Amino acid sequence: MKHSLGHLRPRTNTGGKSTPEERDTDGDETIVEPEQNNILSHIISQLRPGADLSRITLPTFILEERSMLERITNFMASPDTLLPMPEINDPVKRFVSVIRFYLSGWHIRPAGVKKPLNPILGETFTCWWEYADQTKGYYIAEQTSHHPPKSSYFFMAPEHHIRVDGTLKPKSKFLGNSAASLMEGISYLRFTNRGTSKLGEKYILTQPNMYARGILFGKMKYELGDHSFVRCPENHLSADIEFKTKGWVSGTYNAIGGFIKNDKTGEHLYELSGFWTGPMYIKDLKSGVKETLFDATHAKHAPPLTRPIEQQGERESQRLWLSTIKAVHVSDHVKATDEKAKIEDRQREEARQREEAGQEWKPALFRRVDAGPGGSEEGEDDLEWIINANIDAHDPKKATEQILRIAPILPESGPGGTDQPRSSASNPVSSVAVQGNGASQSLIDFDSHSSTNTSSAAPSVGHTQPNQNDLVPSSNSYQTPAASAVSKQTSLLDDDDHLTSNVNSGLSNLNLNHVPVLPTGTAPLKRADTATGDTDEFVDAQD
């Protein structure tokens, strides 16, 4: 049975608005070039004897209009490939369906070369999808570390027996004329109606790395590169998928290749080929039959829905970055830089205060994995953090109730609600102000004024009932006025280790909890092709 969303409002694509674009006939890759010389001049203008390289900024026209916590949802945004997987009885065909699902989301990206906003510590993002069969999928994410950056996330479609737990640990590298985001981390995909474990049949997935080419000269281009892996230990199946980067004198853009094999016998079962932006093929190595696995050329994705901005807490991604995103949206890059710096500098002040108080930070929605022998996440040390709730995987109704108690996901109920989402004709850049209830007690004040002005309180964590009239797609729905500019510098990698700043020293202390110690367990799964330390590296040019 084919699953689709059908009635949901499509994502509004406003990325790259400030730069004219053209299509690359070499591989249907978007090129953005008119402003790229500004990148070089922007960096050079900040270079002076004794300059702190960690404080060099990149121009905000390369920013995507959403946080990394929201961008991760691309992974779950193809219900046509996601939902049928657990219903396939044959384990090999089921594994092939996982590969189809895995490859179906990489084409989802903004126009041009765009970098998502780097989440701040404690930032959260929640959303949901509505499927054609009237069921839902739920997503919860939190930034569980800032140095090094780590984004933890959870997804579940209870009626479809699908659960995903993951941690993304991006690391930045500069390669001369290229910049790389090494997408360290891991995802555990489970089918709760399959397998011998009470937790379900487990699939282990890693991600390709991302490259921005031509950041100083030439044409700016976006590429995926290196090897990623998918494994199902219970069925002894694995896939090694190479995302191929174009060489200096040969090759093509966006190509993939790889194999699916039986780990128990070592036999290669299928060969993978094609383009992650277009048709991808799978060849049965026994029969020689080659067929289309997935065609991204005209594929539709399903952006998730989120609660209205006025119902979101101060550290929820869309409200947190609203002023920055609004400025990027209208190409006001000076204001975007100032608003972005305002948030990042206050984050440094929070870290300074914790350090002075000898306090450790603890996530609100995730806990350390219990990865030791006999633990609930035995052998899953590399996940590090997992959603802090017990979810009944075998009772969809109970699981839904448990998920909705973790954090606000659905809109609050209220008069005038209907069963229909907000019309796609709604203006995505409406001006609904976030109202406050008095002086903010948080270091981060996300009202549209200075940090001494009012801010609405974060909503309580509890079970919420949907008011379908309030449904808002997670695509760039900006609903409050842009905040006033505060001229600050921001880090080139959005990963500044310095805790000093010039923000108001009178900001209040946070109520922080102690972080539990990570249990000892088996060695984590490592990606051999991108093994690096916790710090960003600057190396000579190489493509």
For residue range 206-258, what is the model confidence (pLDDT) as tens digits? 999 999 888 777 788 889 999 999 999 999 999 999 999 988 777 789 999 99
Spatial neighbors of 532 by CB under 8 A, at least 6 apart, are 171, 173, 182, 184
Give φ, ψ of 241 to 5 degrees: -115, 125
Of the candidates 152, 153, 157, the one whose C-alpha atom is nearest the C-alpha of residue 191 is: 157
Q: Tell me if 433 sits within 8 A of 481, measured CB to CB.
A: yes
Tell me the C-alpha distance between 42 and 37, whole Å.
8
Tell me the C-alpha distance between 32 and 214, whole Å.
10
Token digits of residue 39: 């990148």
Tell me the C-alpha distance between 64 and 12, whole Å.
13
Spatial neighbors of 297 by CB under 8 A, at least 6 apart, are 277, 278, 279
The one-letter code for the residue type at 410 is: L
Token digits of residue 113: 């070369």
Of the candidates 216, 201, 217, 288, the one whose C-alpha atom is nearest the C-alpha of residue 43 is: 216
State whether residue 230 is helix, strand or coil: strand
Q: How far is CA 264 from CA 94, 146, 188, 197, 283, in A?
A: 17, 39, 21, 20, 20
Tell me the C-alpha distance between 476 and 410, whole Å.
18
Per-residue pLDDT of the chain (543 residues; tens, 9 = 90+): 433 333 333 333 333 333 333 334 343 344 444 555 556 666 667 666 665 544 556 667 778 999 999 999 999 999 999 999 999 999 999 999 999 999 999 988 877 778 899 999 999 999 999 999 999 999 999 999 988 999 999 999 999 999 999 999 998 888 878 888 899 999 999 999 999 988 999 999 999 999 988 877 778 888 999 999 999 999 999 999 999 998 877 778 999 999 999 999 999 999 999 999 999 999 999 999 999 999 999 888 999 999 999 999 999 999 999 999 999 999 888 899 899 999 999 999 999 999 999 999 999 999 999 999 999 999 899 999 999 999 999 999 999 999 999 999 999 833 333 333 322 233 333 433 333 333 333 444 333 333 333 333 333 333 344 444 444 455 444 443 333 333 333 333 344 333 333 333 333 333 333 333 334 444 434 444 433 343 333 333 333
**Residue 238, Cβ neighbours under 10 Å: how many?**
18
Task: Give the model's pLDDT for residue 55.
Answer: 54
Angle at 141 between CA 507 and CA 372, to 5 degrees: 105
Residue pointed to by tokens 């737990």: 165
The one-letter code for the residue type at 129 is: W
Model confidence over 483-514: pLDDT tens digits? Answer: 333 333 333 334 433 333 333 333 333 333 33
Give φ, ψ of 164 to 5 degrees: -130, 130
Angle at 175 between CA 169 and CA 177, to 5 degrees: 125
Give φ, ψ of 423 to 5 degrees: -60, 145
Token digits of residue 244: 């191929």
- Bridge partners, 460 (sequence order): none
Spatial neighbors of 340 by CB under 8 A, at least 6 apart, are 60, 63, 117, 321, 324, 490
State whether residue 351 is helix, strand or coil: helix
Tell me the C-alpha distance between 316 and 308, whole Å.
11
Tell me the C-alpha distance between 192 and 399, whole Å.
12
How many Å separate Cα 482 from the centre of its chain? 24
Q: How many CA atoms lie within 13 A of 496 on its CB side?
A: 26
**Residue 132, Cβ neighbours under 10 Å: how many?**
16
Of the candidates 455, 412, 449, 460, the one whose C-alpha atom is nearest the C-alpha of residue 435 is: 455
Task: Give the model's pLDDT for residue 47.
Answer: 60
Q: Tell me if 462 sits within 8 A of 408, measured CB to CB.
A: yes
- Angle of helix 322-329 versus helix 333-357 axis, rounded to 10: 160
State whether residue 243 is helix, strand or coil: strand
Of the candidates 482, 485, 477, the one whose C-alpha atom is nearest the C-alpha of residue 327 is: 482
Residues in the chain: 543
Q: Tell me if 520 sits within 8 A of 370, measured CB to CB.
A: no
Give φ, ψ of 351 to 5 degrees: -65, -40
Tell me the C-alpha distance between 157 and 37, whole Å.
45
Token digits of residue 514: 């102690």
Q: Tell me if 179 sits within 8 A of 538, measured CB to CB.
A: no
What is the overall mean pLDDT for the chain?
75
Q: Tell me if 483 sits within 8 A of 326, measured CB to CB.
A: no
How far apart are the two ends of the chain, measured CA to CA in Å? 43
Give φ, ψ of 149 to 5 degrees: -65, 135
Across 147-217, where does the E strand assignment appear?
149-157, 162-175, 178-191, 201-205, 209-213
Task: Give the model's pLDDT for residue 51.
Answer: 57
Using only C-alpha atoms, what is the Rg of the chain? Answer: 23
Tell me the C-alpha distance between 409 and 405, whole Å.
9
Task: Give the model's pLDDT for residue 112.
Answer: 72
Token digits of residue 307: 């609660």
